[in-house]
Amino acid sequence: MHRVVVLALEGVYPFELGIAHRVFATTDQLYEVITCTVDGGVVRSDSDVTVGVSHGPEALESADTVIIPPFSMSLISADLSPAVRGALARIRPGARIVSICTGAFVLAAAGLLDGRPATTHWALAETFRTLFPGVRLDPDVLFIDDGDILTSAGAASGIDVCLYLVRKDHGSAVANSVARRCVVPPWRDGGQAQFIEQPVHDASTAGTAATRQWALEHLDRQMPLADLAAHASMSPRTFARRFYAETGTSPGRWLIQQRVHRARQLLEETDLGIDRIAADAGFGTAASLRQHLHAAIGVSPVSYRRTFRTREAGAELV
């Protein structure tokens, strides 16, 4: 039986702490799941509960897979305590190590991610890069499998990576059965990018702000640079330079971002078909919408709508 050992650290998040038990223990005895702490003692969670365990760090020595759930962001550091470092040293060579959310900070602080691809919660990407510049961070994915080390994004992505491991170990039939029993999708399309809200710049900003606001109100139109510049009473060259200075991107790229944002809103909040949404967002065709949405957030319009639908759909997706 494959032994999964969950290392509960101080400030652990209770939801993510239970993911490994819920997923792996639902495989009908293909895995044994136990929880340990760095000293065998009680740890405080980030909520109003404490976690008592029956195992100390010695449990890590017999682990086939080690899961490190996330912990309070206030405890994030570039250094590890001697107790945590000592516990990690007990993990035997060849064991698979998996982090969820802030758990990646522990692996990075231990030097286990140096020069390797990894991910963590998108909101912590800049903090992670500052503390660990030697790690090849990708904040847009739900999880990364780099062989003996897997890192995943925030919260529910822990379910994604655990189901992925079940699928990898025992095939899709077993993983799909576990997903059904846990009432979760067996596989989620796309990555973290689809969950990041993209803010629209304040239209009160001087310069190109009025034209940006006008463009937002007329996204269904084709808007070449010359038309945008004319609206702002500038030459195309001056407009492009001013636009970049104010927004940090080009007019064309900004328009695509806003059209993707509009399409996402329409997919979430309306019953409109894909062709109509493509036209209203300014993409022209459904094929163009699919291409740009997939490039921006890694999913198709149909997949996005199924994930984020806020009310019952009344129209067929075409």
Strands 65-68 and 96-100: parallel
Mean pLDDT score, 109-118: 97
Mean pLDDT score, 52-81: 97
- How much is the pLDDT for 189? 76
pTM comes to: 0.76
* CA-based torsion, 267, 273, 277, 278: positive or negative: positive
* Main-chain phi, psi angles of 157, to 5 degrees: -65, -20
- pLDDT of 98 above 90: yes
DSSP annotation of 317: -
- How much is the pLDDT for 206? 55
Cα–Cα distance between 213 and 208 in angstroms, integer? 9
Beta strands in the chain (DSSP E): 2-7, 31-36, 43-44, 50-51, 65-68, 96-100, 117-118, 136-137, 143-145, 149-152
β partners of residue 117: 136
Give the other-Cβ count within 10 Å of 57's Cβ.
21
- How much is the pLDDT for 201? 56
Average pLDDT, the chain: 92
- pLDDT of 316 above 90: no
pLDDT band at 137 (very low <50, low <70, confident <90, very high): very high
- pLDDT of 264 above 80: yes
- pLDDT of 202 above 90: no
Mean pLDDT score, 159-179: 94
